[in-house]
């Protein structure tokens, strides 16, 4: 009996020691499941993981220790622009030697999402760059190549070739609630990796004029220039968003920062890795936010205005919506059962539809409500892109 108890105690001791080592060195192995997005192997948090769980003793050191190794600094360089008249002797006589300008440099952050070297960052961090250098938290450096970009969401996917890479755990941004604590990790102003804390200030922010598709997480965690492309994580160290922009009158943090949800990032990753670009749905309508003036013009009852929705003021001839029977004056209240309350929400919902696959739209026409099945086409990417945002 004594021998059996001794063996049991030794086995328990070994297991506890092994658990402690894994929890300290590779905490992402505990309670995580592997998944594949577009053929890229990533680590996802289990559905039972709750972003609102509190840190012991009020410290966020565990979350920072888990997530920080996967957050990288990104240095970009762009060759100096050459003046086309720089070699002209008369130009040099009047204006001096202005043949070559100074090379341009950029600074940002990124997040390693796969041990195979895939990095998620902002498009505006790497846009137009001739060279991209990634600096890991362990001081290793590597040249990165761009796998693909999506200016509509301001996201980009990079790839580096290094071994033993730490990968962040992808959380479920749909579980976030206003008031949840979050951490922002990045390299502000190039001072080195920095962790700041705050809460989720708002969800679903849109109509900010930053991206074409906007569904931002707003936070008061300090975000500054250089943080773009960095990680917004919960208290478990799970990635919840990619820090993208700030509202500022001074150029520094004023407590209003915006992050792209990881749910959006997953869609972009899947599209870019599979097809080289993100394919979005399009139905060919001209929508406007429903208000009392438009309701009166189209004879829509006040109750419908209070209920919310998006009014269609124009339908492209022979477009997907026209072929399905959508008419000017119709009010779209939901796409695939998900309510839409403004133009931005309708744009995002339609863009998420799979081209060629019929999808139901809930439409209010007059006093009657019905569902119309629309087969979306492919949304064309804009030819002219907006200037990058900080």
Residue 48's pLDDT is what?
A: 52
Structure tokens at 125: 């961090």
Backbone phi, psi, residue 371, to 5°: -110, 135
Name residue, tokens 């003021």: 313
The residue annotated as part of the active site, out of 68, 73, 109, 124, is 124
d(CA 194, CA 75): 16
Residue 358's pLDDT is what?
A: 92
For the segment 289-296, the average pLDDT, to the nearest whole number, is 79
d(CA 253, CA 221): 9
Map residue 194 onto helix, strand or coil: strand
Residue 386's pLDDT is what?
A: 42
Number of helices (H) and strands (E) in the chain: give both, helices first: 9, 24
Average pLDDT of every residue of the chain: 82
Backbone phi, psi, residue 144, to 5°: -115, 150
* Measured CA distances, 279 to 32, 60, 269, 354, 356 (Å): 29, 38, 11, 8, 11
* Measured CA distances, 251 to 28, 110, 144, 390 (Å): 35, 21, 28, 9
Residue 387's pLDDT is what?
A: 38
The residue annotated as part of the active site, out of 228, 234, 253, 344, is 228
Residue 231's pLDDT is what?
A: 95
d(CA 50, CA 181): 12
pLDDT in tens, 140-172: 999 999 999 999 889 999 999 999 999 999 999
Q: Assign residue 122 a region: left if phi > 0, alpha if psi is -120 to 50, beta otherwise?
A: beta
**Sequence-ordered alpha helix ranges (H) in the chain:** 2-25, 61-67, 89-95, 123-126, 262-275, 292-297, 302-307, 320-324, 343-351
| Strand extents, DSSP E, 58-130 | 71-78, 104-112, 118-122
In the chain the first and final C-alpha atoms are separated, in Å, by: 69
Domains belonging to the chain, first-starting first, are 28-278 (2.40.10.120), 281-378 (2.30.42.10)
Residue 12's pLDDT is what?
A: 65
Q: Between the ranges 34-48, 190-204, 247-261, 356-370, where is the mean pLDDT highest?
A: 190-204
Tell me: pLDDT of 351 over 80. yes
Q: Which of 197, 193, 221, 212 is nearest to 107 (CA)?
A: 193
The residue annotated as part of the active site, out of 150, 154, 172, 330, is 154
Cβ-contact 75, 143 below 8 angstroms: no
Residue 235's pLDDT is what?
A: 92
The verdict on whether 124 is a catalytic residue reads yes
The verdict on whether 228 is a catalytic residue reads yes
pLDDT in tens, 89-103: 655 555 566 655 666
Residue 178 DSSP symbol: T
Residue 82 DSSP symbol: B
pLDDT band at 259 (very low <50, low <70, confident <90, very high): very high
Residue 162 DSSP symbol: -
Q: Between the ranges 38-47, 80-89, 366-375, where is the mean pLDDT highest?
A: 366-375
Residue 99's pLDDT is what?
A: 53
Cβ-contact 354, 281 below 8 angstroms: yes
d(CA 252, CA 224): 6
pLDDT in tens, 190-209: 899 999 999 999 988 877 77
The verdict on whether 150 is a catalytic residue reads no
Cβ-contact 28, 66 below 8 angstroms: yes
Q: Between the ranges 61-75, 238-252, 364-378, where is the mean pLDDT highest?
A: 61-75
d(CA 135, CA 74): 6
Residue 388's pLDDT is what?
A: 37
When comparing pLDDT for 135 and 247, which is higher?
135
């Amino acid at each position: 009996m004594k021998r059996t108890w001794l063996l049991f105690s030794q086995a328990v001791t070994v297991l506890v020691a092994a658990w402690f080592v894994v929890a300290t060195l590779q905490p992402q192995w505990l309670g995580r499941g592997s998944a594949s997005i577009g053929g890229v192997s990533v680590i996802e948090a289990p559905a039972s993981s709750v972003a609102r769980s509190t840190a012991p003793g009020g410290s966020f050191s565990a979350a920072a220790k888990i997530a920080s190794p996967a957050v990288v600094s990104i240095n970009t360089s762009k060759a100096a622009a050459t003046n086309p008249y720089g070699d002209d002797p008369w130009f040099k006589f009047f204006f001096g030697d202005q043949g070559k300008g100074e090379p341009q440099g950029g600074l940002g952050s990124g997040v390693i999402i796969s041990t195979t070297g895939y990095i998620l960052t902002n498009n505006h961090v790497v846009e137009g760059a001739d060279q991209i250098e990634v600096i890991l938290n362990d001081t290793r450096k590597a040249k990165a190549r761009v796998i693909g970009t999506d200016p509509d969401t301001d996201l980009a996917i990079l790839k580096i070739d290094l071994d033993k890479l730490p990968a962040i755990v992808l959380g479920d941004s749909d579980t976030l609630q206003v008031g949840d604590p979050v951490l922002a990790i990045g390299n502000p102003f190039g001072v080195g990796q920095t962790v700041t804390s705050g809460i989720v200030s708002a969800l679903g922010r849109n109509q900010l004029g930053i991206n074409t598709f906007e569904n931002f997480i707003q936070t008061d965690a300090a975000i500054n220039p250089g943080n773009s492309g960095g990680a917004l994580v919960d208290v478990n160290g799970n990635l919840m968003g990619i820090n993208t922009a700030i509202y500022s009158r001074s150029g520094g943090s004023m407590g209003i920062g915006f992050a792209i949800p990881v749910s959006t990032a997953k869609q972009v990753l899947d599209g870019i890795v599979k097809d080289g670009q993100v394919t979005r749905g399009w139905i060919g309508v001209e929508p406007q936010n429903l208000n009392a003036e438009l309701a009166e013009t189209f004879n829509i009852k006040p109750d419908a205005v209070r209920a919310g929705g998006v009014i269609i003021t124009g339908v492209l001839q022979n477009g997907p919506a026209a072929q399905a029977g959508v008419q000017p004056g119709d009010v779209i209240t939901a796409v695939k059962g998900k309510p839409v309350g403004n133009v931005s929400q309708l744009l995002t919902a339609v863009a998420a539809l799979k081209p060629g696959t019929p999808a139901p739209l809930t439409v209010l026409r007059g006093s009657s409500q019905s569902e119309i099945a629309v087969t979306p086409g492919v949304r064309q990417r804009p030819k002219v892109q907006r200037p990058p945002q900080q």
